[in-house]
Amino acid sequence: MNIGMIGLGQMGWNLAKNLSVAGYSVAGFDPRPDSRQRMAQINVQAADSPASLAAGTDAAVLMVLNSEQAESAVWGENGFAAGAAIDKTLIIMSSLSPVFVRALAARAEGRFRVLDAPVSGGVEGARAATLTIMASGPADLQQAMMPVLRAMGKNVINVGHEAGLGATMKTINQAMLFAALASASEMVVAGVKAGLDPDTIIKVISISSGGSWALEHRVPLAWQTDYVSGATLAIAAKDMRSATELADSLGTSATIAREVRRLVDIGMARHQGEGDDPLMVEIIEQLSDFYIKSRTGAVSL
């Protein structure tokens, strides 16, 4: 089977590499010249456009930043739709709003098939092929694409047979992630300001009832890697917008999600849309007028 990858940023690059390692013939498209030049390093053939990629592959993975990029990659001039046919499959692994994914699938009806399959696990999971993949779409399509998905992820879970349910699952996951990150950031900053060592806080809480993935894998990067994770704050901003929009469309409460979105927007404004998601810690540090790096020294357990 020939597989395409549309978008070879940090996530797409690792997904394409894993597909190649699994024995698939992989073609890739990315508008950045440096990315196209480096594709040969991972045995990926560079395509001239999403349209030519669609024409030359059986299925293509979409891994772009946001709905605007997805719209261009799929429906723009020389987009995927221009080269696709009814026997082609577009696997949407980008984190996009459920409303957008449902509309894309409806528009694709009779032109090409759509599998909604967003992922969780970050760049680390993409690199190690241990992602959780939340698949939704027709049962026969999920079955046909299962080997492809398993080349990229460890846990492939059927969340429904309607495109948009995968995106919904991913949206609520992201809202919970960033809410946990904001809460953990607040309390770690408070704990260090009170005199605790930050690494000791992580160690104790991670094996206690307050532990979370965000606490273990994001908060410590504030002082360990100077807020660098490889997962951007812009993604957090996009995901929190999707979460509040989903709640609005359903008429459900989103009190905490709105506050987390406000905090992320503060960070986006401060850093002009640049930087990674551990900057959530810095946002709390700034609001608290205290930076973790300024005080350490509690005795480790």
Q: How far apart are alpha carbons 202 and 188 in whole angstroms?
A: 8
State the burial class of residue 182 (Cβ atoms within 10 Å of its Cβ: 0-12, 13-18, 19+): buried
Q: How far apart are alpha carbons 57 and 204 in whole angstroms?
A: 49
Q: How far apart are alpha carbons 155 and 49 in whole angstroms?
A: 31
Q: In which residue are the tokens 């692994």 written? A: 93
Task: Say whether 213 sits in a helix, a strand or coil.
Answer: helix
HSE-up (13 A, CA, CB side) for residue 66 = 12
Buried/exposed code over 211-250 (b: 16+ C-beta within 10 A; e: otherwise):
ebbbbebbbbbbbeeebebbbbbbbbbbbbbbbbbbbeee
Q: At what angle do helices 165-194 and 255-270 cross, to 10 degrees?
A: 70
How does DSSP assign 172-189, residue by residue? HHHHHHHHHHHHHHHHHH
Give the H/E segment covering residue 62. Answer: strand 59-62
Two tokens, residue 39: 């594709």
Q: How far apart are alpha carbons 159 and 287 in whole angstroms?
A: 39
Residues annotated as catalytic (active site), given as ranges: 170
Q: How far apart are alpha carbons 279 and 271 in whole angstroms?
A: 9
